[in-house]
Chain A
């Protein structure tokens, strides 16, 4: 089946630093989504990408849909304590109403 490799697996940063994480796939996705999950809670949608090459921002978050349709990255600028959590990329092979294939997750920890 399809696999999404997400890296890094974990990050330890200081408050105020920028963060970058990415997702790569062995096959093409037509939609990329980025979610954040707090412990014991459901994933919360951060950014949705629908077009190859698309660059989308949501506040301090910026994500891009790779031109090959096989990768995506998420950047977080000027990290703050509430950014702590697990970030998942997710892909859909078609446009909407399709199951999500999740990446392996990136755990973000902010060092005081």
Chain B
């Protein structure tokens, strides 16, 4: 079965650079979530989209932005990268409606040097 696809799997950037992370949800899933997981931490919610509109916002820095496109894939744009942005970034997707579970991608490991 198709899963959530994230790219790239690994990314190394220098401080103050920008990064773009991509997420391709499971077919027919119209809701996408982004999470950030620091070393030894639980995933923290950043932002979500439903039907291409932002549906909820968590602890996402102003330096980050995201959007969901017409084909439902989503991109997380990160600017002015800081060392503290080094983390695993996960995307999850779910079907519309109630009683739906979120399925996660394999993540992008971002390292800022």
Contact = CB atoms under 8 A, between A and B. Distances in A.
Interface of A: 31, 33, 35, 40-45, 48, 50, 88, 94-105
A43 to B, nearest CB: 5
A42 B106 contact: yes
Given A40-B88, A95-B98, A100 B105 contact: no
B42 A95 contact: no
11 contacts: A40-B88, A40-B107, A40-B109, A42-B104, A88-B43, A96-B97, A96-B101, A97-B50, A97-B55, A99-B58, A102-B42
A43 B101 contact: no
Give chain B's interface residue range (CB within 8 Å of chain A).
20 to 34
Given A33-B102, A97-B94, A97-B97, 15 more contacts: A31-B99, A33-B101, A40-B107, A42-B90, A43-B43, A45-B101, A45-B104, A50-B99, A96-B95, A98-B56, A99-B48, A100-B43, A102-B42, A103-B42, A104-B42
A40 B104 CA distance: 13
Contacts of A48: 101
Contact of A45 (B56, B103, B106): B103
A96 B31 CA distance: 10
B56 A99 contact: yes
B106 A41 contact: yes
Contacts, number: 65
A98 B96 CA distance: 10
B100 interface: yes
B104 A44 contact: yes
B64 interface: no
B33 A99 contact: yes
B45 A100 contact: yes
Contact of A105 (B42, B44, B104): B42
Contacts of A41: 106-107
